[in-house]
Amino acid sequence: MKLSPRDANGYFARPDPDRMGLLIYGMDAMRIALKRQEVIAALVGPQGEEEMRLTRLPAADVRRDPALLTDAIKAVGFFPGPRVVFVEDANETHTPAILPALEDWREGDAQVVITAGNLKKTSKLRKTFEDHKNAYAAAIYDNPPTRDEIEAELKRAGLQRLGPEALRDLTALATTVDPGDFRQILEKLVLYKHGDDTPATPEDVAAVAPVTTEAEVDDILDIVAEAKTGEIGPLMQRLRGQGIAPVTICIGLLRHFRTLYAVAAAPGGVAEGINRVRPPVYGPRRDRIARQAQTWGVLKLQQALSVITETDLALRSAAQTAPAMALVERSLIRLAMMARR
């Protein structure tokens, strides 16, 4: 039987131990691995692997010796409880070796959990599970996690006390990182709040969120957007010493002011714009971006984007003879002065 994405999440958390098997397939190996871990843990429990009620078989080994899968399914465990045979990294070439063991499955045998990459609709392995009355097939897509999935991860991590703004920022963060990274962030947040009974805040989320590689450039962008002209020179000197390329600063500048423009130009105002901007902005930076967009306004941001585009074209021009870093610094000062008008 075919599981829809909504039904699949519920089944992964509470699988039926009497089913013949489950096929999980898709493009994202990390998402598939997390779902596989969840469903196997729900089937055999936390002690399942220690009690030898979980058997792992690479699909390549099953292809070389199909009897391995049949023997594992039929084996009688020493410890009581449900048993699972996990077949990893299957694809269509492994199907001839896998199907005979599935056809020989009987009630009381170990349940078979198979993970695979992207399978076409014509895949025999996929069709076997989708058409089987006692098995399930679940496709894992690369879509951002749903609110239910995020809340399930929060519950699993033990995060019970969250302020609404922190939950909003975690939801935004979940759409920008891989599921495995998001789970690690939640674990870090639990440790960060250990011994602290107050609800988590956006500042707490920002403290455990991954630092972007553009962090050094972000400082100069904020200084320019907030018209702190006197700080531009010293910071530019530091960036120059760190080997930051002028074109990197210009690209960051263009991206930052495009974000400000998207926020300021939203039909419902800055509050709506900050919620709609992609990639999402979270933590204290969210309020900072909103303030900058409101201060500049749509008209001045259009003018600023023109200045940045001219600078970018000049940097890339073969006829340009002025020092590139000086050209960028002059544009930064010009933009900061523009913000004061």
User: Which residues of 27-174 form beta strands (DSSP E)?
Assistant: 54-58, 84-90, 111-116, 135-140
pLDDT at 236 over 60: yes
Over residues 26-43, mean pLDDT? 91
Among residues 132, 172, 160, 179, which one has the least CA distance to residue 274?
172
Torsion of CA 142, 258, 216, 222, to 10 degrees: -130
pLDDT at 227 over 70: yes
**Residue range 62-89, pLDDT digits in tens:** 999 999 999 999 998 788 889 999 999 9
- Pick the residue with more confidence: 142 or 338? 338
Give the pLDDT confidence score for residue 238 in this predicted structure.
83
Give the pLDDT confidence score for residue 216 in this predicted structure.
63
Q: Which domains does the chain have, with CATH numbers?
A: 2-140 (3.40.50.300), 147-208 (no CATH), 215-340 (1.20.272.10)
- In one-letter notation, the amino acid at residue 250 is C
Percentage with pLDDT > 70 across the chain: 98
pLDDT at 215 over 70: no
